[in-house]
A and B are shown apart, each in its own frame.
Chain A
Amino acid sequence: MIAEPRLVEVRKNVLKKNDICARTLRDRFQAAGVLVISLVSSPGSGKTAFLEKTLTCLRKDYRVAALVGDLATENDALRLARSQAPVKQITTGTLCHLEAAMVETALGDWDLSQLDFLFIENVGNLVCPSSYDLGEAVRLVLISVTEGEDKPLKYPTIFNSADVAVITKIDLAKAVEFDWTAAAASIQAVRPGMEVFKVSAKSGEGMEDFTKFVSARLTQMRAVPAV
């Protein structure tokens, strides 16, 4: 006799493991007083150039470090090392995104209390990283002026998961006839109220506004006593 199929309730989030790991990391970052900022974007939108410039600017007054995810090469880590900040590469192989456990492993024996800022550069991908919490305090999504103003509408999930948008390569805006109004509208459509920075890592334009913003966020975070 064949038994009747029975329904059993499970109710489990499949990303629970990642979420728990991310929460542990977030508590650790908060306790150490380090502001963790992650970067997501499509490949080639200038994450590494922006990060190199950011590290160089912030290093004058703060202790900074970076973790950088890449599929196969260590080129980004080598580039970022030029900023003199400690940099570690996370090579993901064929994996299209970073997960919290990879961040935890990569941190290794770094003494987080010796840092003010830690940047995590995700793999260039506007789809997969959106589902994975890395324990960051601020998630930046980058879009370059060469990509088209409707990118946020094409990838609403990742733009909605981010806290701040950074428009990069603005030194090229004129040449590509970048439509600022359309870009702002598409960002606000998928993430109302999102703060937007406009930068050029090449000329340095807009970098000061951005570093002021992260400095303010650091002060704000440290004003909240660690639990």
Chain B
Amino acid sequence: MHELSIAMSIVDLAQEEAARRGAKVTAVHFKLGALAGVVKTALMSSYEMACEDTLLQGSQLIVEEIPVMVYCSRCQMRRPLSSIQLFCCAECGTPTSEVVQGKELEVVTLEIEE
């Protein structure tokens, strides 16, 4: 259960930005990769806890889930993954470990009120 420490990092990051701009953050847009090892529901409830008594109290966490993309050596391009239990190109079935997308834990944008 490391979602709380991830949530606290999000709050820290957003607070820094809010303080720098002297603004109030109302929402945080966050990219969560399917291979980041973080559970969305646990992150959402941890976020609420992490926001308590901070400048972000009452703000919303808006999570965009990012699917895993791999590089397929046979197709020679980015392809979706068959499934998280099967690291193969979804198009041609060639096994691949080369993940090019899906590990995101990224604060993308903030909604602020000045």
A residues engaging B (CB < 8 A)?
2-3, 5-15, 17, 95-97, 127-128, 130-131, 153, 156-158, 160-161, 188-194
Contact = CB atoms under 8 A, between A and B. Distances in A.
A128 B97 CA distance: 20
Contacts of B27: 5
A187 to B, nearest CB: 11
Contact of B108 (A10, A95, A192): A10
Contacts of A10: 13-14, 17, 107-110
Question: Chain A at the B interface: mostly helix, strand, loop or mixed?
Answer: mixed
Nearest to B94: A192
Best-surrounded residue of B2, B9, B88, B108 (most CB of chain A within 10 A): B2
Interface in B68-113: 84-88, 95-97, 99, 104-113
Contact of A192 (B26, B37, B96): B96
Interface of B: 1-2, 5-6, 9-10, 13-14, 17, 21, 26-27, 35-38, 84-88, 95-97, 99, 104-114
Contacts of B108: 9-11
Nearest to A150: B85
A11 B85 contact: no
Contacts of B107: 10-12, 14
A130 B33 CA distance: 13
B2 A5 contact: no
Given A12-B106, A157-B37, A188 B114 contact: no
A153 B9 contact: no
Contacts of A190: 84-87
Contacts of A193: 95, 97
A7 B109 contact: yes
Contacts of A95: 2, 5
B17 to A, nearest CB: 6
Given A8-B112, A11-B109, 12 more contacts: A5-B112, A7-B112, A8-B17, A8-B110, A11-B107, A14-B105, A128-B1, A131-B38, A189-B85, A190-B86, A190-B87, A192-B87
Contacts of A160: 35, 87, 97, 99
A160 to B, nearest CB: 7
23 contacts: A2-B113, A6-B111, A6-B112, A11-B106, A11-B107, A12-B13, A13-B104, A14-B9, A14-B105, A14-B106, A14-B107, A96-B2, A127-B2, A128-B2, A130-B37, A131-B2, A131-B6, A157-B35, A157-B84, A160-B35, A190-B85, A190-B87, A192-B88
Given A12-B106, A128-B37, A157-B37, A189 B26 contact: no
B87 A189 contact: yes
Contacts of A3: 113-114
